Amino acid sequence: MHTGREFGKTRLPLWAASFVALACFAILGLSGWREWETRNADLRTAEVDVANLAHSLVQHADDTFELVDTILVGLVHRLEIDGTGPDTIAKLQAYLPTRKSSDRIRGIFIYDATGRWLATTERVDFSRLNNSDREYFQHHRDSTDPGTLIGSPVKSRAGGQWIITASRRINDPDGGFAGVALITIDVGYFVKFYERFDFGPNGSTSLLSNAGIMLARSRDESGAFVGRDLSNTPLFKGWDSRPAAAVYYFKSPLDGVQRLSYYQRSSHYPLMVLASKSQDDVLAPWRRAATMRMAFVLGLVLLIAVIGYYLVRQLSQRQRMAHALVAKEAHFRMLAEQSSDMVTRIGLDNRLLYASPSCARIIGWSAEQLLGTSAVAGIHAEDMGRVEQAIVALKNGEAEEARLVYRQRHREKGEIWAEAALHVTRDSGSGEVDGVVAVVRDMTEQKDLQDKLASLATTDGLTGLANRRTFDERLADEWARARRDGTQLSLLLIDVDHFKAFNDHYGHVAGDGCLRALGRILSAHARRPADLAARYGGEEFAILLPNTDANGCAGVGEEIREALHDLAMLHAQNPPSRLVTASLGAATGLPSQTTTDCSALVTAADRALYAAKDSGRDRLVMSGQVVPWPAKSA
């Protein structure tokens, strides 16, 4: 399970890159799909528009030809009843202009069986005109079909413009061919009518016969497209299988424009209307909007890609750093676990995050027992504040490292002295302090050795009293304190009587025993914490008595002398008592603010000591009740 998680972390940059790529492709795909749907929606809207347009225009064409057909039926009926005699034609010539009231009709014509013009609404001399060569005339002459024929566009002989013809056969009373009645519709009428509708810049509307002949086309004032035979185009090739009306996409054979169209056949006449728009015109607004939208989407995708790139790069860097950190952590653990010192990691909450195996040897608890516990647990109460203060300073960034010596509880030994070297650790990403590493070693033996060395440096090895160096330092300190506080300071100097003779007589071992015995007496009489008993040199000793007047000093001196008497240590070379005795010189001083030299007190006590010896020994001599400072020479 752990291996799977590690593998997942290793593949994280690849997954992140895949996710970013997938997100980019998804956005592009969804945007492309949305744009395609929008494009199709615009085309469908255009399809509805051209369909509605085609329905309207085919209705217009039906209405136009229905009007023409009605007029033709009336004319033919009248001619077949009244005949084509001169009277009838004269009346008809006067009647025809009344039937041209609609702007849809260009002209009305009556031809006899030979094609000669009999009557017309055109103001032309038609006495010599003949239309027997026209296709529609030949059709009616050869066919007995009485229905209306909508012919192909032709150029008018009367006006020279393109016209659409609608004609019917005229029969004589025997049913023979008597002529043709013709009504023409100006192609320009349809062109002008189609201009009322918006087909777009490149759109068009065409009126065609079912045979594929172009009858009229919008934007064709010159008639360039009129009469074109389009029967070979794809639209008409499958004409029989096509529905009466449908959407039709094609590339125009007339101008090469790709068109979206709707064709509608007339249900009454052999006509159809083809309403079309340029596909480029329909899609132009979509293209403009899609270009802006896709530019935005591409910008967004680029931004996501850039952010993703930096994210993946950061993940890769973090992964490399994590691998390096893991390697360092493993190296750290190897060093920590091989070290004889106890190595611990302390979190920001002062909890132990790691403890090396050597903790069992140093403080008696295993690493498992220590994990999660307080890092300062077991530290002596007197040292706790100092240790906590150092840890807080490290965590706050006030220092990078610290070294402390403190007392630590041991599970079995009670209490040990420990030395800790503390160093901050920082987060590899942010650089912020995330904990402290502590390397702890047992300093008990070193501490004991240091204490012993300190004791040797400050005490006399034979008697255990303070040595001369310690005495001089304490004398200077107490002198300064007495001067500052305005108190008295007393000093006793003690010298063993005839000690050289004792040494010569009893030997050095006995001499050392004598000095140790006197040292014990002096220690017993230096009762207060500030009192100091010291070996001043050889067989000479001193007791420093702070805040003590002359009477108190004399009392202590007498007690020491009597205690030595009570010890009753034999000294045959010291008559008359034949016991070990001592001479004492004492001095009491009251330091003034102008007196800084404490040697005067020693000088006074030393003179008093010599006075005691000169007076017969085994006695105490005070250097005056209160020695004035500075002392005057005797």
Q: Residues 454-513: pLDDT tens digits?
A: 666 778 888 889 999 999 999 999 999 998 888 999 999 999 999 999 999 999 999 999
- In this structure, the answer to whether residues 611 and 511 fall within a common structural domain is yes
- In this structure, the answer to whether residues 70 and 162 fall within a common structural domain is yes
Residue 153 maps to a domain: yes
- In this structure, the answer to whether residues 355 and 476 fall within a common structural domain is no
What pLDDT sits at residue 196?
87
Residue 631 maps to a domain: no
- In this structure, the answer to whether residues 324 and 343 fall within a common structural domain is no
Q: Which of 445, 471, 500 is the last residue of a domain?
A: 445
- In this structure, the answer to whether residues 151 and 127 fall within a common structural domain is yes
Residue 121 maps to a domain: yes
Mean pLDDT in consecutive groups of 10 residues from the start of the chain, 634 residues? 51 81 89 90 90 92 90 88 82 73 79 89 81 90 90 81 90 90 89 86 89 88 85 84 89 85 91 91 89 90 88 80 66 57 83 81 79 82 84 83 84 80 79 83 72 71 89 92 91 94 92 92 90 91 94 94 92 90 93 72 93 92 60 40
Residue 271 maps to a domain: no
Residue 386 maps to a domain: yes
Q: For residue 71, what are the domain limits?
A: 62-182
What pLDDT sits at residue 1?
45
Q: Which of 413, 445, 477 is the last residue of a domain?
A: 445
Helix axes 2-10, 12-82, angle to 10 degrees: 60
**Letter string b/e over residues 368-379, b meaning 16 or more CB atoms within 10 A of that residue's CB:** eebeeeebbebb
Residue 211 one-letter amino acid: A
- In this structure, the answer to whether residues 152 and 94 fall within a common structural domain is yes
Residue 216 maps to a domain: no
Closest CA to 571 of 611, 514, 493: 514
What pLDDT sits at residue 198?
84
- In this structure, the answer to whether residues 466 and 598 fall within a common structural domain is yes
Q: What is the CATH number of the domain that holds 394?
A: 3.30.450.20
Residue 209 one-letter amino acid: S
CA atoms within 13 A on the CB side of 157: 14
- In this structure, the answer to whether residues 360 and 312 fall within a common structural domain is no
- In this structure, the answer to whether residues 118 and 99 fall within a common structural domain is yes
- In this structure, the answer to whether residues 144 and 172 fall within a common structural domain is yes
Residue 605 maps to a domain: yes
Number of separate domains in the chain: 4
CB neighbour list of residue 476: distance below 8 Å, 6 or more residues apart = 598
- In this structure, the answer to whether residues 536 and 493 fall within a common structural domain is yes
- In this structure, the answer to whether residues 432 and 560 fall within a common structural domain is no
Backbone angles phi, psi at 291, to 5 degrees: -60, -45
Q: Are 585 and 608 in contact (CB under 8 A)?
A: yes
What pLDDT sits at residue 202?
86
Q: What is the CATH number of the domain that holds 604?
A: 3.30.70.270
3-state secondary structure of 528: coil
What pLDDT sits at residue 195?
87
Q: Which of 132, 154, 182 is the last residue of a domain?
A: 182
Residue 278 maps to a domain: no
Backbone angles phi, psi at 489, to 5 degrees: -130, 130
Q: Are 549 and 479 in contact (CB under 8 A)?
A: no
